[in-house]
Amino acid sequence: MFGLGLTKKYRTDKRANVSMIFALTMIPIIAVAGFAVDLQLAFSKKGKIQHSIDSAVLAGARMLQGTDSKSDVRKHTRAYFDAMTDGEGGGLTCDALAIEFVDDENIEASTTCYQPTTLSRVIGQERVKFTVEAAATYGISKLDVAFVFDISGSMGWGTKLWDLKVAAKDAADILLPEKGSAGEGEVRIAMVAYNSQVDAGDYFKDVTGLKPKRTYTAINNTRKRETYTDDEYVCEWVCTKYRGRSGRCRDWDYQCDWKEVEKDRWVDTQETVTKTLNSTCVWEREGEHAFSDAQPDQDNDRLDEVPESSWNASQTSNNSEGFLTAGYAYWDDDRDRWYTTGTSCLNVEPFPLDDDLDDVEDYIDDLYVNGGTAGHQGIEWGWYLISERWSDVFDGKSTPLAYDEPDSIKAMIIMTDGEFNQQFHNGQGDSVEQAKKLCDAIKQEDIVIYTVAFEAPPAGEEVLEYCASGVEFSFKASNGLELKKSYQSIAQSIADLRIKS
């Protein structure tokens, strides 16, 4: 009885079945949960690898602009990718980056990566495999960029001018493709330097309608003393008889007679005076084209129309010819002397678009400093240098691209270390107000504006922030190293504008 009862008890007891069933069902539950965890980790890693390969391909495409050595580009792209993925951890490994050049302007890359699993191992899943790929091509093949340099007196403090030269040359080196490369000639750089004025140099007649060497005339109204002769009835004592040997007068008599005598008098006179001025300094222009890129009239020689002491750019209030204002001479009748104004610019004329790095660096090396800060004049000239409407002034190989040129972009880099504080036509606003109006008009033409405030006061920073095409296009630098990094970032950003990924 006892044996049969115990057997029956064991046969009808179901408590252990729950444990067995639970143990059996935990395996797939753990497997599913583990696979989800491992897959999520792999997806997270894939996102980082995708970012790395995108960046590497962009770096390769950027380098492809400047060299025709595909082996160098391939090596550079792989090194860039390896540097970005180094230290990912978690046992992630990737195959060597496979790189293909579809043509001279397109680069493609792909790789397969392996992420070790954790919980999925219970079902034999040792790793998660995924593939990433990226491609980049030149979206923009042509670029016109204008550098605008502040060369006012404060740029001579410490090493500021030297820092600017180093930073600007570094940016130019990044932007300009190597000679002989597929991208040679597609990037061109123009430059203009300003202080209280701009030196128009060889372009003076084109932008003012005047000759660099010009003569001003005026009428000098004055009084002066002159000597003249006049007949006058003169009476005087004369000797009528002399003593013999001594020769002394013996007899005197009072006689009168008409004689010619010299006299002095003051007279009012007018005389023509002249002053020859040889200067190519210019201010901003006034009138209806003050804040536009309209090209000055190229068929108008105003030299004979300039009256004495003229200083305006035009003979009409609206300046329909679009001329810039030139330096001038004027006669001061009270002081009887000539005065000149508007001749304080430095001898650094604008540099039109060019793709020769040596010429660009020579221009930068020749910069020197003095004077005030008329930032709006630098901005307007930076615009003129890359404007399609100035093709009669800047022609030949320096002819700016058309605004609607396919696969092209225009950019400006405006730099200052001070506050805009010099202007000529006060009726148009101060230098800051004029600069903002110009920047508004420039951005309407889809020109990308970058700005660099180099140890600038708040007022200088504010106007540059306003002019920049966005927050990410505005840079500040408090020392030479930061200035160099700012120009490097701008150059890389402009280069990236030429790439589509």
Report the share of the chain in percent with pLDDT over 70.
Answer: 85
In tens, the pLDDT along 74-97 reads: 999 999 999 888 877 778 889 999
In tens, the pLDDT along 214-225 reads: 888 888 887 778
Mean pLDDT of the chain: 85
Quote the pLDDT of residue 233: 83
Structure tokens at 75: 């090596």
CATH 3.40.50.410 correct for 142-197+346-500: yes
In tens, the pLDDT along 136-174 reads: 876 667 999 999 999 999 999 999 999 999 999 999 999
Quote the pLDDT of residue 308: 46
Give the whole-angstrom CA distance, residue 167 versus residue 169.
6
Contact residues for 165 (Cβ-Cβ < 8 A; gap 6+): 364, 365, 367
Which amino acid does the sequence have at 219?
I
12-26, 205-219, 462-476: segment of lowest average pLDDT: 12-26
How large is the average pLDDT for residues 217-245? 83
List the chain domain ranges: 2-138, 142-197+346-500, 205-341
How large is the average pLDDT for residues 434-452? 97
In tens, the pLDDT along 301-332 reads: 665 565 544 444 444 567 888 999 988 888 88
This prediction has a pTM of: 0.73
Q: Is 117 helix (H, G, I), strand (E, B) or coil?
A: coil
pLDDT surpassing 70 at residue 387: yes
Q: Is 372 helix (H, G, I), strand (E, B) or coil?
A: coil
Contact residues for 470 (Cβ-Cβ < 8 A; gap 6+): none
Instruction: Give the E-state strand segments of 139-248 in sequence order.
Output: 142-150, 187-194, 198-199, 213-242
How large is the average pLDDT for residues 486-493? 93
In tens, the pLDDT along 18-37 reads: 555 545 555 555 555 555 66
pLDDT surpassing 60 at residue 1: no
In tens, the pLDDT along 117-126 reads: 876 766 667 8
Contact 77, 56 (CB under 8 A): yes
Quote the pLDDT of residue 34: 54
Confidence category of residue 13, pLDDT binned at 50, 70, 90: low
In tens, the pLDDT along 389-409 reads: 999 999 999 999 999 998 899
